[in-house]
Chain A
Amino acid sequence: MTVQADAVLKVSVWRSSGPGGVAAGEGRFETFEVPRHPSQTVLDVVTHIQRHCDPTLGYRFACRVGVCGSCAMVVNSEARWTCRTHVDKVAEGGRLEVAPLRNLPVIRDLATDMSAFFDKWARARGQFAGTRSRREGFAVVEPDSEARRQVDLGIECIGCGVCYSSCDVVEWKPDYLGPAAMNRAWTLVNDVRDTARAERLAAVAGDAGCHACHTHMSCTERCPKHLPLTAAIAGLKRETTRALLRGEL
């Protein structure tokens, strides 16, 4: 395939500091030149850099078709799935800037430590708690019910971290659970089979929970699956308030 001489991308990539560990925030942008192709994605670009320019570049991906969320990075200041971001859509004047997800420690270059993200998921009680065993019949969930509709709106989250990276409250308050964890809690609050409602509402209330959300809606704006995350958190505000007034919180 011939590549036009002027079809070259200038790509600034975040590199952690030298070997032996990374101090928080330390690093610099390094610029690479990458040949431009039609239908090229940002993941293609990062992969090219690692394979042909600098094999020490650290980054993460898996499915490369938009179902796993592993390739989430910050491209031109906006968190995205790089495998589903066409270069033509984001490159400005032939330039791209690629950085790791924000609000998470950087392991190396473009790969972040997602532990805190998933720890908060657990802290928000984002796990189903049921009582039936295989010996009992299936639980009945009315598909037309409002509760089931609410679950449907938020259940497709794959835990990519884009919303967490985009949230200012996460940046300002290190304890803040974040949109993904609370959205998952919301789907469980609306799950009629779940039995841990009281504990879950207690887990998502307060300064580290739903009450700290300022409705910036950056999470909803950036979510690659267009989940109504802010609405889910607002739902938690209503449910925790209800529990509070009933003396159940």
Chain B
Amino acid sequence: MTPRAQAWLWLAQRLSAVVLAFAVVVHLATMVYAVRSGLSAGEILDRTRGNLPWLLFYSSFVVAIAVHLPIGLRNVLAEVLGWRGPLLEIATAILSAGLLVWGLRAAWAVYAPGAA
């Protein structure tokens, strides 16, 4: 990976951090509300089912995580485990893809949960 590409990764991580700063504050405030209103599966899903704004919010949240987390972990893998080159980049890409797929799946799951 060229220094230029690595510089783009760094910038992407900082930009996704700004997105996450907002998303996390919203999410934590939501959790405070949710704890008071009820945390059973039924109660959670009652609030999120069919709620398009929340779906859009959580999807954006997931995309930001899929950018931010793997780039951060890439540093740890390189510094602690000494991973370099294709091994490092492929692991990072797989992690990002996995978070994107599983995260969007989770966002969809609370928007359109299956039959009881």
A and B touch in the complex (CB under 8 A): yes
Stretch at the interface among B2-10, B46-54, B91-99: B2-10
Distance in angstroms from B62 CB to nearest chain A CB is: 25
Q: Taking each of B7, B8, B9, which has the highest tally of chain A beta carbons within 10 Å of its own beta carbon?
A: B7
Q: Hey, which chain B residues are within 8 Å of A237, CB to CB?
A: 10
B3 near A173 with CB under 8 A, answer no
Interface string of A220-249 (1 = CB under 8 A from B): 000000000000000001001100100001
Q: Contacts A169-B79, A173-B78, A173-B79 known; A207 to B6 CB distance under 8 Å?
A: yes
* A205–B6 alpha-carbon span in the complex (Å): 8
B7 near A240 with CB under 8 A, answer yes
B3 near A244 with CB under 8 A, answer no
* A173–B75 alpha-carbon span in the complex (Å): 10
B6 near A172 with CB under 8 A, answer no
A209 near B79 with CB under 8 A, answer no
Distance in angstroms from A108 CB to nearest chain B CB is: 28
- Give the contact-size bracket for chain A: 10 to 19
- Near B by CB (< 8 A), chain A positions 145-202 give 169, 172-173, 202
B6 near A211 with CB under 8 A, answer yes
Q: Hey, which chain B residues are within 8 Å of A241, CB to CB?
A: 7, 10-11
Count residues on chain B whose CB falls below 8 Å from chain A CBs. Answer: 14
A249 near B6 with CB under 8 A, answer no
* A212–B78 alpha-carbon span in the complex (Å): 11
Which residue of the partner chain, among B3, B8, B11, contacts A207 with CB atoms under 8 Å?
Answer: B3
A206 near B79 with CB under 8 A, answer no
A206 near B4 with CB under 8 A, answer yes
Q: Taking each of A172, A173, A206, A244, which has the highest tally of chain B beta carbons within 10 Å of its own beta carbon?
A: A206
- Near A by CB (< 8 A), chain B positions 41-99 give 75, 78-80
Q: Hey, which chain B residues are within 8 Å of A244, CB to CB?
A: 4, 7-8, 11
A206 near B11 with CB under 8 A, answer no
Q: Hey, which chain A residues are within 8 Å of B78, CB to CB?
A: 172-173, 207
Which residue of the partner chain, among A169, A172, A205, A214, contacts B3 with CB atoms under 8 Å?
Answer: A205
* A99–B38 alpha-carbon span in the complex (Å): 60
Distance in angstroms from B75 CB to nearest chain A CB is: 8
Contact of A208 with B by CB under 8 A: yes
A-B contact pairs, 28 of them (CB 8 A): A169-B79, A172-B78, A172-B79, A172-B80, A173-B78, A173-B79, A202-B3, A202-B4, A205-B3, A205-B4, A206-B2, A206-B3, A206-B4, A206-B7, A207-B1, A207-B78, A209-B3, A211-B7, A211-B9, A211-B10, A214-B75, A240-B7, A241-B7, A241-B11, A244-B4, A244-B7, A244-B8, A249-B7
Residues of A whose CB lies within 8 Å of any CB of B are 169, 172-173, 202, 205-209, 211-212, 214, 237, 240-241, 244, 249
Q: A172-B79, A211-B6, A211-B10 are in contact. List 10 more A-B contacts (CB 8 A).
A: A172-B80, A202-B3, A205-B4, A205-B6, A206-B2, A207-B6, A207-B78, A214-B75, A237-B10, A249-B7
